[in-house]
Amino acid sequence: MSSTNVPAALKGNIRHSVCAWCYNDMPLEDLCRSAKAIGLQSIDLLNPEDFATARKYDLTCAMVAAINQNWGITRGWNRVEHHDQLVAYYQYLVDETAKAGYANLICFSGNRGGLDDEQGLQNCTQGLQRIMGYAEKKRVNIVMELLNSKIDHPDYQCDHTNWGVNLCKAIGSERFKLLYDIYHMQIMEGDVIRTIQENHPYIAHYHTGGVPGRNEIDDTQELYYPAIMKAIHATGYTGFVAQEFVPTCTDRIAALKQAVHICDV
């Protein structure tokens, strides 16, 4: 085996992943090969048809995607009229996720579209409770992503940790949790480490990104990721942290490797 195929030695306190969409113009096979060489264990946000490619490189998918031509970030669970079709779609995704042996399946609130936050929370609760029994039976976590509505996703409803935590409490299932995206929540709230410390029981997964710009997480941006990773590890978290930044440099895999080592505390 050549040295380029030997996974890099990492400390093991953080389990590392990368979001596939950030490298959309790279063949998934190439991304998997490079991720494995860096020492990653997972590729985030894969569709079921891509599972086999990740498996070929002994990589898991720590967060399964759930976006198609009808459903995604702007159209989600906060509209009662979406529920019947979303339940059918998520039954299929839960089946595929469970069949692959994966743990986490992403979901989205959808945009407010005039809904106040209380009504949106009630609607999400009503819809998601219809799928949670099935997810529990299949041992799959349904995980709603926290996104910023200030810059990237105007009008998105699940844009504050407190709203997401209240949704978790309303649904009342250990299989429903949050994806805490550090980039997005720095934009909306700041106070990242304290928020993680106070709300970690409701968090199933983490994403990174440099602020501002969602680029490299090096010293060109305002967050200090080593401290954030130490705080995550101190909560007892054993899941994955996925790099979700868009590299600006020519050697994007080198940027990914640098980010992994920044987070490898």
Which residues does the annotation mark as catalytic?
145, 244
Distances (CA, A) of 188 to 145, 157, 253: 13, 12, 29
Give the CA distances from residue 14 to residues 18, 208, 225, 226, 240, in Å, rounded to whole numbers and listed in that order. Answer: 13, 13, 12, 11, 7
The dihedral through the CA atoms of 74, 75, 80, 83 has a sign that is: negative
Check: CB of residue 14 under 8 Å from CB of residue 241.
yes
Residue 241: enclosing H or E segment and its boundaries? Answer: strand 240-243
Nearest Cα to Cα of residue 56 among 22, 23, 81, 31: 31
- Number of other residues whose CB lies within 10 A of the CB of residue 88: 11
